[in-house]
A = this chain, B = another copy of it.
């Protein structure tokens, strides 16, 4: 019993075998440290779902032990579930200045700001808990102020890299804290968890600064307005757009709600430097000649409601794309978004704009470490045990192979899944059981009220629609007194299907007659006969399988 307690437990509750909803619990004695609390955007087959958040039942069951949520950086897949989880689990939230700045905006929208304890930290800060301490270590990523987190336990240190890349020339001049990673490595790290996103890519990720050079080049040639779409959270990218604009004397306007929010936060907190009078409101851009304007906007993923998509579709109220505009899409489509991005590009080209995107110029770099950078991290930290995180299985698998190639004994790395309990002692790593984990769907105001049955129905409805059959029968005799009425939606053009519906009604009538004859009065049997007969008939006639919904009314 006593030995059991002395183990460090690592329990990932999200982020493994998926992209998104990153959250990991690290437990030692009476302390649980939670790293990140992210959301996931819905998969294609999650019809109607707005966002997906992690199932944190395990944390709720162990409420008293949870010392706080410790954030590595301010991306949605690391902070987006906070408003939902904090409602159930009111614990302090630790993060760097910009990260908390973004969290604040989010909590304000959910009315949670006054009830949440936000604790601002900076790199090299150490938070002492009961049996462990938590240290923040500077990294580089596609958002400013990102950190790795080390949890120091009596068994040794557990290091979580967070999302990172190696950038020797970052925009803010703050290179990741190689010295501290090396020092931890020298002292001995028990276990490292590291970002696997780009493990399939050879070589190095380019420095963010290279994008700035491309901007200067493209901006210098542009004859009209310049519109740049990028991720709102990429403050360094935005800084480079601002610098390029200012160097050419162009005014800068911002469009898109999330872009406006984050730019404001970043300026207030000192993460974005803009010359006095450089900024103009989006309402005022027409007061300047076209060649004196740069617009920074959202929509780099082609999101249908984003500012850029609205411009492309002529639905933006403040800005119409005209011939001579130069539009830069400074991002790469996230897998699954290729088609929406392509649609926006086509629309913009059709309006006569010049459109510049990744396949045409170096207007984007990744925020994640490629193979050579991962090797550097492994070589600095030299962990005894290694758990690849932040990726699908293919990434985790290849990251563990990379570690083995660097000399890690094969038995010292494990590929784990959400909900797995990984136990660490000084000389062993093993999976030992699981806790409840999974995905909770958020749909409108509902959190968790849509599950697999509802999704299965939505999918069914989306494929072949629905056919509702209503009959009113006399209670005593079972005789049909009204109907059958058949109404379909999403099945077939009504005018094309009259014969089909006439025949379907006849089928229902004969089912009812048959039931009457056989003295079948229970509704379940009647309904399932209707359903079966109709299904067979419709499939034979159309090779489609609409949902069939029989309703019996009784008077």
Contacts and interface: CB of A to CB of B under 8 A. Distances in A.
Interface in A321-341: 335-336, 338-339
A360 B200 CA distance: 7
Contacts of A460: 490
Given A462-B47, A462-B48, A338 B336 contact: yes
B339 A446 contact: no
Contacts of A455: 490
23 contacts: A43-B339, A48-B462, A200-B360, A342-B394, A346-B392, A346-B393, A349-B397, A444-B544, A449-B493, A449-B496, A451-B493, A453-B493, A454-B490, A454-B492, A457-B490, A460-B490, A461-B465, A461-B489, A466-B489, A470-B553, A472-B555, A485-B551, A555-B555
A369 interface: no
A542 interface: yes
A466 B547 CA distance: 11
Tallying the copies of this chain within the complex gives: 2
A73 B493 CA distance: 35
Interface residues of A, number: 69
A443 interface: yes
Given A463-B458, A468-B468, A201 B449 contact: no
Contacts of A458: 461-465, 490
A350 interface: yes
Contacts of A492: 446, 449-450, 454
Given A461-B490, A466-B466, A339 B44 contact: yes
Given A444-B544, A465-B461, A493 B454 contact: yes
A274 interface: no
A549 B547 CA distance: 15
A497 interface: yes
Given A443-B464, A458-B462, A468-B551, 9 more contacts: A336-B338, A349-B393, A444-B544, A445-B542, A445-B543, A450-B492, A459-B462, A461-B466, A482-B555
Nearest to A551: B470
Contacts of A466: 461, 466, 489
B555 A394 contact: no
Contacts of A547: 489
Contact of A342 (B48, B335, B470, B472): B335
A491 interface: yes
Q: Give 5 nearest A-B pairs by CB, closest first.
A: A444-B543, A462-B462, A461-B461, A457-B490, A458-B490
